[in-house]
Copies of this chain bind each other. A is one copy, B any other.
Amino acid sequence: MTWIELDRSSGTPLYRQVYKSYRTKILNGELQSGERIPSTRELSTQLQVSRNIIVEAYEQLFAEGYIEGRHGSGTFVAEGTYLESRHQTVSKLETELIKKISSEQHDLVDFRPGIPALSLFPRKIWMQLAQQECTHAPDEAWGYGKPEGLLKLRTILARYLLRTRGVVCHPDQLIVTTGATQSISLITKLLLTHTSDVILEDPITHEIHTIFTQPGARLCPVPVDQQGMITQDLPLHTQPGFVYVTPSHQYPLGGVLPIQRRVQLINFARTTDCYIVEDDYDSEFRYEGAPISSLQGLDPERVIYIGTFSKILSPALRIGYLILPPTLINRGRHLKWLTDLHTPTWEQMILTRFIEEGHLERHIAKMKKIYRKRRNYLVGCLTDNFGDQITVLGHSTGLHLIAEFLNIQFTAQRLEELEQNGVRVYSVEIHAIEKGKHLQRIILGYGNLSEEQIKKGVQRLASILK
């Protein structure tokens, strides 16, 4: 008699326990092919359970091919069911993979760049709109959508971008993506092969180095100064797939590309017949003057435009957009479809209302005031603590600035030391393609810090660095 242990207190139904026991024993060879197993009546008596339970278990085993009936003879283990078990216990992972919860200091001041003020995400309005959309959306809204995204959202977005960023596009040029990273991925798939060159600023977001080189493309870095990419250094003897720029607020150094350089850039792209990719990630928060008009508006057929709501609203929403020149639209939509079909519909519906009803602009205006105040406070603290040992750069826009120190190099050890002392700052050097030129600079994000935290953070910096 095969021993089958049943646990009546377990949440698993009894028939399933019987099924699993037999399945395991058949797979591991404890019950051999051709071996007879008890009839349902016999097993029901042996295990003291109702015959129905055994019948149900046997039906499952039969359906899956583990057992077969031979008329008049009984029930037997089927052929070809032995599987040598090789898998190690998955609990090995418990020790190998679960990193100890790092002794995350609860009051570590984290100057992480690119994070908006999370406590000020407009939850209430977002929730109300979400509720209304969920309740009133037609059934079709819960089915498969189109890769480019809702027409209504694209229409409203195109209008909004024209008005606020000087972006010139037809709604059909827009694809609603799950953020800037996906937009960059899509462009990479669209335009780069292993023989491509990509021209880009140096330094520039280090994940982008990786994304662009994934298909084997070659990076052609162009240095950056306080006015962004030094366009007169654009390399003449290349056939680039595209030039990737952050002209509104160079990342990370923060320069704003002036019109002369924008003209040079576009002329360069026309001469080499390549695209420009404009990544416009936080230009809404410009603290001196109105937002700089986009590069895209100067040549909509040549400039691909990437936008995101991660800094304006919340990175957790994962929503952004991509504006493609007309010739790339169909391929772009097709690629988006093959990537993840489309961006979640509900978020698109909420966002449409959020923009349409003016909440977005009000939110941006409100946040701009708050961020300006935080920026000013940070600059003040830095000046108070470091005086002329420090130069502040790239602070005209966005959610971060650069602090350049006269006599300090920010090596990995130095950064670790600072973190041990309760303050986390971010290296510029990690984003550099040509190394060694930015060791004295750090990125300080202030979007998600209160003035109290800013003050504490800078004091901790001073206690180590001075």
Contact = CB atoms under 8 A, between A and B. Distances in A.
B263 A81 contact: yes
Instruction: Return the 10 tightest CB-CB contacts between A and B, nearest first.
Output: A65-B258, A80-B260, A316-B345, A118-B139, A182-B340, A142-B314, A65-B259, A93-B170, A318-B344, A178-B340
A299 interface: yes
Contacts of A19: 290
Contacts of A289: 59-60, 63
A339 B181 contact: yes
B135 A127 contact: yes
A207 B315 contact: no
A24 to B, nearest CB: 10
Contacts of A78: 259-260
Contacts of A80: 259-260, 263-264
A45 to B, nearest CB: 24
A65 B258 CA distance: 5
A144 interface: yes
A2 B113 CA distance: 44
Contacts of A203: none
Interface stretch (A84-92, A365-373, A398-406): A84-92
Contact of A168 (B87, B270, B293): B87
A140 interface: yes
Nearest to A319: B344
Interface string A65-90: 11000000000001111110011101
Interface of A: 11-12, 16, 19-20, 23, 27, 59-60, 63-66, 78-83, 86-88, 90-94, 96-98, 115, 118-119, 121, 123, 126-127, 130-131, 134-135, 139-145, 163, 166, 168-170, 172-173, 177-179, 181-182, 185, 207, 210-211, 214, 256, 258-260, 262-264, 266-267, 270, 288-290, 292-293, 298-302, 314-319, 326, 329, 337-347, 448
Given A142-B316, A289-B60, A317-B344, A93 B338 contact: no
Contacts of A270: 86
A90 B63 CA distance: 60
7 contacts: A16-B290, A63-B289, A83-B262, A143-B314, A143-B448, A178-B340, A182-B340
Contacts of A27: 259, 298
Contacts of A81: 259-260, 263
Given A64-B259, A293-B23, A344-B316, A299 B207 contact: no
Nearest to A94: B170
A166 B270 CA distance: 58
Given A181-B340, A338-B185, A339-B181, A93 B173 contact: yes
Given A185-B338, A299-B86, A338-B185, A143 B316 contact: yes
B342 A318 contact: yes
B94 A341 contact: no
A145 B121 CA distance: 15
A263 B83 contact: yes
Contacts of A292: 63-64
Contacts of A127: 130-131, 134-135
A256 to B, nearest CB: 8
Contacts of A256: 63
Contacts of A118: 139-140, 142-143
A135 B121 CA distance: 11
Contacts of A337: 181, 207
A218 to B, nearest CB: 18
A113 to B, nearest CB: 11
A183 B316 CA distance: 20
A333 to B, nearest CB: 11
A317 B232 CA distance: 47
A171 to B, nearest CB: 9
Contacts of A119: 139
